[in-house]
Amino acid sequence: MENILIKEFNHIPVMLNECLDGLNIKSNGIYVDGTLGGGGHSLEILKKLKSGKLIAIDKDVDAINHCKEKFKEYSDKVIFVNSDFKKYKNILSNLNIEKVDGVLLDLGVSSYQIDTPERGFSYRFDGALDMRMDKSQEFCAYDVVNNYSEEELRRIIYTYGEDSFAKIIARAIVAKRKIQPIKTTKELVDIIENAIPKKFQTKGSVCKKTFQAIRIEVNGELNNLDCVIKDMAESLNSKGRLVIITFHSLEDRIVKNVFKELNTDCICDKSVPVCVCNHKKSVLLVNKKPIVASNDEQKINKRSTSAKVRIVEKI
């Protein structure tokens, strides 16, 4: 079983070189990987450290256990934390760490999670309706699909999935569950595919947006994301870097807006004639436009096609 787990966790870290360059790693610095996953980015950070430390955070215990084995030869340089990166301030406080030199946040779902059918993240495999990143959490995709009202389903599919077919998908889900509970990803896929007219099923899977929406809802992925980004920026030493990888427009919009605010001296309403907020910019934008994967990387790693990297440096 362990061999299968390790094999499944093998993945290609997105824009690895761009992220490492973005972090501008010092060999004696303290760095945080807020979303450890398969450890691809973290391993390369560790290779660049001498007396420095890496704090590796993930709420998926499978990721932690896998990387403890993977990072054996760097065990003196890494601190594993099985927690949600949204608890960032508490995590640093518990470790008695006030400032760090860099933070990496990869907001994508790990390859292992997507490719493990029983985790229920993917519309490509049949499995239980789960989608929990933290397996100790009780609330899962089954609860969303079977217990949310039609209006609530429409709202999350439209808002988090940005799907124009949200209304008819929500209606189809509710109609089906009246007959019997919806238990598997395949059942949900069939419902979505039968609900959407065939003429619109030409480019990729029509299930992608609904699955994304339910996953975001189950894991509260956008909840307080703006707050934790500010916490991470505040924790940086001068010249420290915050590097964030996003995979869809909702996340990217939040990151872009927070970075813009942190890079602005006054955030008063434009109608106010004199600044009363006393807000001072605390970061510089390392890249004004998001970095995207090269054509070569996109050919090798399909999951990099929608990725964007934004980087700021603490003043």
> Is the distance from CB of 107 to CB of 229 less than 8 angstroms?
no
* Pair 39, 101 in one domain: yes
Coil vs helix vs strand at 265: coil
Question: How confident is the model at residue 3, as a pLDDT?
Answer: 36
What are the structure tokens assigned to 291, written together?
């970095």
CATH value at residue 147: 1.10.150.170
Q: Among 179, 200, 219, where does a domain finish?
A: 219
What does the buried/exposed string (b/e) look like for 188-204 if buried means 16 or more CB atoms within 10 Å of the residue's CB? bbebbeebbeeeeeeee
Average pLDDT over residues 239-244: 98
Residue 265 contacts by C-beta under 8 Å, 6 or more apart in sequence?
275, 279, 280, 281
User: Do 98 and 155 lie in a common domain?
Assistant: no
Residues 88, 122, single domain; the answer is no
What is the torsional sign of CA 27, 33, 36, 38?
negative
Residues 14 and 77 in one domain: yes
Chain mean pLDDT for the chain: 93
* pLDDT tier for residue 53 given thresholds of 50, 70 and 90: very high
Least confident span in 3-12, 143-152, 216-225: 3-12
Mean pLDDT in residue range 117-136: 91
Structure tokens at 235: 């924790």
Same domain for 215 and 241, yes or no, is no
Considering the domain architecture, whether residues 191 and 61 belong to the same structural domain is answered as no
Per-residue pLDDT tens over the stretch 259-268? 999 999 888 8
Overall average pLDDT of the 16-37 stretch: 97
Same domain, 147 and 215: yes
Radius of gyration of the chain from its Cα atoms, rounded to whole angstroms: 21
List Cβ<8 Å contacts ≥24 apart for 175-183: 177/145, 177/146, 181/142, 181/146, 182/129, 182/142, 182/145, 182/146, 183/128, 183/129, 183/142
Residue 59 in this model has a pLDDT that exceeds 60: yes
Q: Is 146 helix (H, G, I), strand (E, B) or coil?
A: helix
Please tell me the distance from the alpha carbon of residue 140 to that of residue 187, in angstroms, as a whole number. Answer: 16
Residue at 235: amino acid letter: S
Average pLDDT, integer, range 79-105: 98
Task: Specify whether 103 is located in the same domain as 20.
Answer: yes
Asked whether residue 227 falls in the same domain as residue 211, the answer is no
Is the pLDDT assigned to residue 8 strictly greater than 60?
A: no
Q: How much is the pLDDT for 9?
A: 55
* pLDDT at residue 7, as a whole number: 40
Specify the pLDDT at position 6: 37
The model's pTM is 0.89
**What is the domain extent for residue 306?**
2-107+222-314
| Same domain flag for 157 and 237 | no
Which are the contacts of 295, defined by CB distance < 8 A and separation ≥ 6?
none
Pairwise CA distance, residues 35 & 59, whole Å: 8
What's the number of domains the chain is made of? 2
Q: What is the CATH number of the domain that holds 286?
A: 3.40.50.150
The pLDDT assigned to 274 comes to: 85
Same-domain status, 125 and 189: yes
Q: What is the pLDDT of residue 192?
A: 97
Report the alpha-carbon distance of residue 140 to residue 215 in Å, rounded.
Answer: 9
Whether 111 shows a pLDDT value over 80: the answer reads: no
pLDDT at 10 (0 to 100) = 56
Listed residues 184, 200, 219: the one ending a domain: 219
Structure tokens at 160: 């988090």
Q: Name the domain boundary from 219, 252, 278.
A: 219
Residue 117 confidence (pLDDT): 83
d(CA 110, CA 41) in angstroms, rounded, equals: 12
